[in-house]
Amino acid sequence: MKQIVWVLSVIIIASTIPSIYAEDLDLFTDSDVYSDGQPLFVYGKALSNENLILRLFAPDGTIVIFDQIIVDSEGSFNHVLLTWPDASTKIPYGTYTVEAISTTQNGLSKTVDIKFTSTSELVEVPVERRVTTSVFAPEIAAVDQPFRVFAQVTSDGLLVGGDPNELLGTSHVHTPTDQVVSLSQSFATLHEGLYYIDYTPRQKGTYVFHMVAFSKGTISHGSAATSVLSQDISGVAEQIVKLNSILDETSGELDRLKSEIEGFGSTLESASKDIDSSVTSISSSVNNIEEASIQLNSLFFPIVASIGIIVALQIAIFARRR
């Protein structure tokens, strides 16, 4: 009897060992490319009667759909995860990831990348993830003055969320002295997919910010340059404002000088008119003098002639008396 119990125990243990220790999980989809209105059919193999978690990830890493199924007794499963809707901002065209997670095999998981496009015709469409990194930095900055640099990470047009110090962990800046300074652990999140750092330059020159994003096995690069001066645009602007105020004052002085010159010109013009009037008066006086001289001459000559006659008569009378 004891031998029978022992044999049965060995058989039971032997039958349970594969289900406990074997890792068996395969995941497939019925197509690599899907379009609007088509069902997403997933199938594969796993341990019999185990629970599987099925998830569909969007290009930005967010979960589009979450489902749980039970594997049949033969270790097979098949399931329509969703029917693709019309493309929208929530489910745009791009590369999606289907994931199956075993609940009994220490979290064993398998993934398959698929493409959601406007057409699923028999055209070879590469199932690839397009990660793009854009960098925004000011063109000009000043020494010892902090400024902000932004990095935007997208996957197939969707913003990629997560810990920026992991997503952008290998980013760095090239300084004017050709040193490479790591920006790891310096990022903060402004918005999912939009991150920034506050950087303070210590010397003049050109700084090149090289942002490196790594998302789901895909790497992307982006860079931007900032020229650092001894002072920033605001300082130059203040000097320009002061110069403008000085120029305004100078312009006012010139306007006043111009008005004074115009007044002096009017005075000169008035004096010139007075001189012309005086010259006219003098000319008139000279004409009057000439006329008077003519009249005087007309009176003077008869008188002189009369005097001459009288003198001649007196001389004649005086001669006769002798």
Q: Is residue 314 part of a domain?
A: no
Other Cβ atoms within 10 Å of 66 Cβ, number: 10
103, 50 Cβ separation under 8 angstroms: yes
Which position has the token pair 């497939």? 28
Q: Tell me: do 19 and 111 sit in the same domain.
A: yes
Distance CA 33, CA 122 (A): 9
CATH number of the domain that residue 106 is part of: 2.60.40.1930
Closest alpha carbon to 67 in 41, 49, 47, 88: 41
Q: What is the pTM of this model?
A: 0.49
pLDDT at 238: 67
Range ranked top by mean pLDDT from 111-120, 251-260, 265-274: 111-120
263-274 confidence digits (pLDDT tens): 666 777 777 777
Q: Determine, yes or no, domain membership for 237.
A: no
For the stretch 203-255, pLDDT in tens is 999 999 999 998 877 888 999 999 999 875 666 666 777 778 888 888 878 87
- Are 23 and 82 in the same domain? yes
Residue 207 covered by a domain = yes
Do 79 and 16 sit in the same domain of this protein? yes
Q: What is the pLDDT of residue 14?
A: 45
Q: Is residue 152 part of a domain?
A: yes
**What is the extent of the structural domain holding 152?**
131-231
Q: How far apart are CA 196 and CA 131, in angstroms?
A: 18
Q: Please give the residue that has the higher pLDDT: either 319 or 185.
A: 185
Count how many domains the chain has.
Answer: 2
Domain boundary among 188, 208, 231: 231
Q: Which of 54-63, 242-251, 293-302 has the highest mean pLDDT?
A: 54-63
CA distances in angstroms from 78 to 29, 30, 52, 83, 216, listed in the order given: 9, 10, 11, 15, 26
**Residues 173 and 94 placed together within one structural domain of the fold:** no
**Are residues 149 and 112 part of one domain?**
no
d(CA 24, CA 74): 12
Q: Taking residues 46-67, what's their average pLDDT?
A: 89
